[in-house]
Amino acid sequence: MQELGKAEYSSVRVTPQGENRVIIEKDISSEEMILNMGPQHPSTHGVLRLECKTDGEVVIEAEPYLGYLHRCFEKHAEMVDYPGIVPFVDRMDYLASMNNDFAFCIAVEKLLDIEIPRRVEFIRVIVSEFNRIASHLVAIGTYAIDLGAFTPFLFCFRDREHILNLLEWASGARMLYNYILIGGVAHDFPQGFKQRASEFVKYFRPKAVELQRLLTENEIFVKRTKGVGMMPADVAVNYGWSGPMLRGSGVEWDLRRDDPYSIYPELDFKVCVPDGKFSDIGDSLSRHVVRALEMEESLKIIEQCLEMMPEEEGFDPRAAIPKRIRPKAGEVYGRAENPRGELGFYIQSDGKSTKPLRCKARSSCFVNLSAMKELSRGQLIPDLVAIIGSIDIVLGEVDR
């Protein structure tokens, strides 16, 4: 046991626990203080508000308050027809619009029971994997900023720009694409896309390694994140976690493999889980490591798709789009693996109208964030930032 400072701090002692974690023990009880964090706070990734009950440096409880970006997605979905929902879906998780559209289209196509041309499937997978990398780059970059490292942010955004350029070339927009439509995609790839895409893959591989060396193996970064925000696997499942968060807790679960859709069963990729050598399984660092590893897997998927994609002269990607989208009466829950986890759409159709009766978006960050209270209990205030960053929330999707 080691004394922290001089006599006036004698009530607080720091006990080393394991290698690099400390817990603060208290002899006398001190007063609780309510600390308000957000909605305008640079590290809450948007407009999240946390009300932290603190005791000195220790957070007793952090209660998230949402709704500062509640844009009424579900109301809009009931008010506009099916193709009109796609732009709103785009704006939900604005870091990964392609993946969002993909999930929504899968749900509606399930209900419509239509066959998608094979080339379209490849186009969809390629663009959504590109978007996954872009999204993870933002997640990693902003996480680094939260923990006080500015350079990785610049590196990440530099590489993200390349992806945005590629996707802009294909779809015409930089961020919110409206590219994947129900039954097809908006345009075929432009000529030369394949080459530029594989050039990017070649360019990005060493950059990912560089990022790894710059950030993931950085001792300061490791010290800030290792052992912070632990979540055991069974609790994570009970909380409904999905995506990199669940995999960070050591559960090998990826909808691309375990509830396969599109052409993923034909592709060879690995579901990344931390091996426990570098990080404690279930902590913030593991979640970061999973994201970093996933970028490499996405690159692999893109490479395979570029190779396998059938070439067709004068291909019309809109050929399979129904003239009038009016699904049969029924209900469906369609889902896909989005960079933040399982994005599901529960759609109810009455069979008569061109608008859904009910469209609920099951947002991955909404569910992931709900464990915030549990994650932050007993952590230090500076660790709170490390925990929020590791959840990688996008408020547009949390609040919808």
Nearer to other proteins, 222 or 237 (CB): 237
Instruction: Return the half-sphere exposure (C-beta side, CA atoms, 13 A cut-off) of residue 385.
Output: 16
Cβ of residue 329: shortest distance to other proteins, in angstroms?
A: 10
| Nearest Cα residue to 383 out of 224, 185, 175, 176 | 224
Cβ of residue 325: shortest distance to other proteins, in angstroms?
A: 15
175 binds other proteins (CB under 8 A): yes
**Interface with other proteins in residues 370-389 (CB under 8 A):** 370-371
Sign of CA dihedral 61, 338, 335, 79: positive
Which of 12, 95, 126, 375 is the binder for other proteins (CB under 8 A)? Answer: 95
Cβ of residue 233: shortest distance to other proteins, in angstroms?
A: 9
88 binds other proteins (CB under 8 A): yes
160 binds other proteins (CB under 8 A): yes
User: For the window 187-226, what string marks contact with other proteins as x by the rule CB under 8 A?
Assistant: ----------------------------------------
Q: Compute the distance between CA of residue 205 and CA of residue 145 in angstroms, rounded to an integer.
A: 23
Reduce the DSSP state of residue 169 to 3 states and report it. Answer: helix
- Stretch touching other proteins by CB under 8 A, among 158-166, 194-202, 220-228, 278-286: 158-166
Strand partners, 52: 35, 62
332 binds other proteins (CB under 8 A): yes
**Interface with other proteins in residues 259-318 (CB under 8 A):** none
Nearer to other proteins, 126 or 156 (CB): 156
Cβ of residue 374: shortest distance to other proteins, in angstroms?
A: 8
Which of 53, 71, 300, 326 is the binder for other proteins (CB under 8 A)? Answer: 71
Cβ of residue 396: shortest distance to other proteins, in angstroms?
A: 6
Nearer to other proteins, 249 or 284 (CB): 249
- Stretch touching other proteins by CB under 8 A, among 171-179, 265-273, 278-286, 379-387: 171-179
- Stretch touching other proteins by CB under 8 A, among 189-197, 222-230, 293-301, 326-334: 326-334
Which three-class secondary structure string do you get for 197-255? HHHHHHHHHHHHHHHHHHHHCCHHHHHHHCCCCCCCHHHHHHCCCCCHHHHHCCCCCCH
Kind plus residue range of the DSSP H or E element containing 391:
helix 381-391
Sign of CA dihedral 26, 32, 33, 37: positive
Residue 155's contacts (CB-CB under 8 Å, 6 or more residues apart) are 141, 207, 210, 211, 214
- Strand segments, DSSP code E, in 307-393 are 330-338, 341-349, 358-362
Nearer to other proteins, 25 or 161 (CB): 161
182 binds other proteins (CB under 8 A): no
Q: Total binding residues for other proteins by CB under 8 A?
A: 71
138 binds other proteins (CB under 8 A): yes
- Stretch touching other proteins by CB under 8 A, among 20-28, 66-74, 115-123, 316-324: 66-74
Q: Compute the distance between CA of residue 100 and CA of residue 91 in angstroms, rounded to an integer.
A: 9
Terminal Cα-to-Cα distance of the chain (whole angstroms):
48
User: For the window 335-354, what string marks contact with other proteins as x by the rule CB under 8 A?
Assistant: x------x-x-x-x------
Q: Compute the distance between CA of residue 189 and CA of residue 194 in angstroms, rounded to an integer.
A: 8
- Stretch touching other proteins by CB under 8 A, among 160-168, 191-199, 208-216, 285-293: 160-168
Which of 13, 194, 326, 362 is the binder for other proteins (CB under 8 A)? Answer: 362
Residue 313's contacts (CB-CB under 8 Å, 6 or more residues apart) are none
- Spatial contact of 201 and 260, defined as CB atoms under 8 Å apart: no
Q: Report DSSP letters for 85-123, one per residue.
A: HHHHHHTTSTT-HHHHHHHHHHHHHHHHT-PPPHHHHHH
